[in-house]
């Protein structure tokens, strides 16, 4: 690496490492792409020479040009990692320009614009413009110009004089080629936009995690300072500060568990595989939930009218209940009043779980959209995937999830499950793993 680049990044080692990693990744991608194209060139050049001379003879074919293309592809096939740095970029440009725009344009002209070579040139342009846009444009312009110069130099003079030149046909098909290039470019832009959206989603998730973990970290820092002051002369405050640090660390671990559960649930198969007890599931989730303090814990009341069994999956059931409980507690906190009540009601024909809060409620105009993916209200208060994921999970278990609410008064989520007589599975057992985390 040159001295100016090192000097520029001397004060920022992470930036230097990121730059080096990006360069290595780009080179690895270029080598892999060239290796793939080399296989196509080394196989396609001889194969299509046989096809166009034996089975479907064309007006013009050139073994010499195909041999040159074959030889150009060999280095990337035999020793792809030996070519590095600027030599790799030069080799990539020369080989791609020759094999794609130059060769196909020249063969198109020499075959008087035949349909076979017109379509072949179109395919070559589509492949070419999957490269970087400026790279592809420069390669296309240079290759086409070289093909035209060679055609004028070695083309059939009699055909040109008789008006059989392929230039008019090339101009006639030019709008089609331009349109194809535009479509390919727009598709690439769409993929980039999708990639940016994914990155934006990752950024939002990281921001949410950072927001949730920042407060306990600040509290830990404050308590550490408190311990320092206590050691200077106030020994009585040390046990209290240590207890608070332990609580905050446990809180952070439980929040991380919640995020990981939700993230893993999005990539799992949702089909039920276990017979679970609803009351045990609720108890385990209450033990696991990262309540901010004992006062918040007392806001939640659990009533078991009659326990029931349902078909589900232990970790996904935890995701559903944790998301609903978290939303309910946020609604109570936003309203500054209210409580949360969880009712296990297995006495009905279709057993159900009710989770209700007397917090801020949901406006009637927002209620129809709460289960839609990426919809959150108020805006920018969440990722908008929690309730959508809950709905997907419950529906995969042949259940139903509904919500009723009145703004500023209450919200009730009702989860209905198939009758217990249908809940028979090979795998059975209580959700003991959920209760592994200690109660905060």
What average pLDDT does range 196-223 have in this prediction? 59
Higher pLDDT among residues 20 and 196, named by residue: 196
pLDDT at 102: 95
- Is-contact 124 101, C-beta < 8 A? yes
Task: Give the rounded percent of residues in the chain with a pLDDT score beyond 90.
Answer: 28
pLDDT digits (tens, 9 = 90+) for 359-404: 888 888 888 888 877 677 666 555 566 788 888 889 889 999 999 9
Confidence class of residue 112 from pLDDT cuts 50, 70 and 90? confident
Mean pLDDT of the chain: 77
How far apart CA 423 and CA 346 sit, in angstroms, is 13
- Is-contact 103 65, C-beta < 8 A? yes
Concatenating the DSSP letter of every residue in 283-295 gives HHHHHHS--SSHH
- According to DSSP, residue 430 is labeled -
How far apart CA 194 and CA 247 sit, in angstroms, is 40
3-state SS class at 27: helix
pLDDT at 305: 92
Spacing of C-alpha 432 from chain mean position? 32
Radius of gyration of the chain (CA): 33
3-state SS class at 21: helix
Of 103-107, 274-278, 310-314, 419-423, the range with the lowest mean pLDDT is 419-423
Of 42-46, 83-87, 98-102, 347-351, the range with the lowest mean pLDDT is 83-87
Confidence class of residue 263 from pLDDT cuts 50, 70 and 90? low
What average pLDDT does range 220-235 have in this prediction? 65
Confidence class of residue 243 from pLDDT cuts 50, 70 and 90? low
As a three-state string, the secondary structure of 312-371 is ECHHHHHHHHHHHHHHHHHHHHHHCCCCEEEEEECCCCCCEEEEEECCCCCCCCCHHHCC
3-state SS class at 162: coil
How far apart CA 10 and CA 280 sit, in angstroms, is 58
User: Which residues make Cβ contacts (< 8 Å) with residue 165, sequence separation at least 6?
Assistant: 112, 155, 159
CA distances from 329 to 216, 219, 380, 386 (A): 18, 21, 18, 14
pLDDT at 326: 87
pLDDT digits (tens, 9 = 90+) for 138-190: 999 999 999 999 998 887 666 655 555 677 777 788 888 888 888 887 777 66
Token pair of 275 as six digits: 């017979």
Burial 63-75 (b: 16+ CB within 10 A, else e): eebbeebbebbee
pLDDT at 159: 60
In what order do the strands lie in the sheet containing 400-406? 300-306, 340-345, 352-357, 410-416, 400-406
How far apart CA 371 and CA 126 sit, in angstroms, is 41
């Amino acid at each position: 690496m040159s001295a100016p680049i090192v000097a520029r990044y001397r004060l920022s080692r992470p930036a230097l490492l990121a730059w080096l990693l990006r360069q290595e990744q780009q080179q690895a991608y270029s080598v892999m792409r060239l290796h793939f194209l080399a296989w196509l060139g080394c196989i396609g050049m001889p194969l299509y020479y046989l096809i166009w001379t034996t089975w479907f003879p064309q007006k013009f074919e050139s073994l010499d040009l195909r041999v040159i293309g074959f030889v150009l592809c060999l280095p990337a096939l035999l020793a792809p990692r030996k070519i590095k740095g600027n030599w790799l970029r030069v080799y990539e440009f020369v080989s791609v320009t020759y094999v794609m725009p130059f060769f196909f344009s020249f063969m198109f002209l020499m075959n008087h614009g035949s349909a076979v070579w017109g379509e072949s040139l179109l395919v070559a342009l589509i492949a070419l413009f999957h490269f970087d846009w400026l790279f592809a444009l420069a390669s296309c312009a240079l290759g086409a110009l070289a093909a035209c110069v060679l055609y004028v130099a070695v083309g059939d003079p009699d055909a040109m004089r008789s008006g059989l030149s392929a230039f008019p046909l090339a101009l006639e098909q030019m709008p089609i080629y331009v349109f194809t290039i535009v479509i390919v470019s727009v598709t690439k832009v769409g993929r980039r936009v999708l990639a940016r959206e994914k990155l934006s989603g990752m950024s939002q998730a990281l921001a949410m995690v950072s927001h949730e973990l920042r407060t306990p970290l600040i509290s830990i820092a404050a308590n550490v300072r408190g311990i320092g002051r206590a050691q200077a002369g106030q020994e009585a405050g040390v046990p209290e500060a240590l207890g608070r640090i332990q609580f905050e660390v446990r809180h952070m671990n439980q929040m991380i568990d919640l995020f990981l559960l939700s993230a893993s649930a999005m990539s799992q198969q949702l089909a039920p595989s276990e017979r679970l007890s609803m009351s045990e599931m609720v108890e385990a989730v209450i033990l696991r939930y990262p309540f901010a303090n004992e006062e918040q814990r007392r806001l939640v009341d659990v009533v078991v009218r009659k326990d029931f069994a349902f078909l589900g999956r232990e970790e996904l059931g935890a995701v559903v209940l944790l998301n609903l409980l978290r939303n309910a507690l946020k609604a109570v906190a936003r309203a500054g009043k209210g409580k949360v009540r969880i009712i296990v009601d297995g006495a009905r024909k279709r057993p159900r779980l009710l989770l209700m809060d007397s917090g801020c409620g949901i406006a009637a105009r927002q209620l129809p959209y709460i289960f839609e993916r990426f919809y959150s209200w108020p805006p920018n208060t969440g990722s908008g995937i929690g309730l959508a994921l809950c709905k997907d999970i419950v529906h995969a278990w042949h259940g139903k999830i509904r919500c009723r609410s009145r703004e500023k008064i209450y919200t009730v989520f009702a989860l209905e499950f198939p009758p217990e007589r249908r809940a028979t599975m090979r795998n059975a057992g209580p959700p003991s793993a959920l209760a592994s985390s200690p109660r905060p």
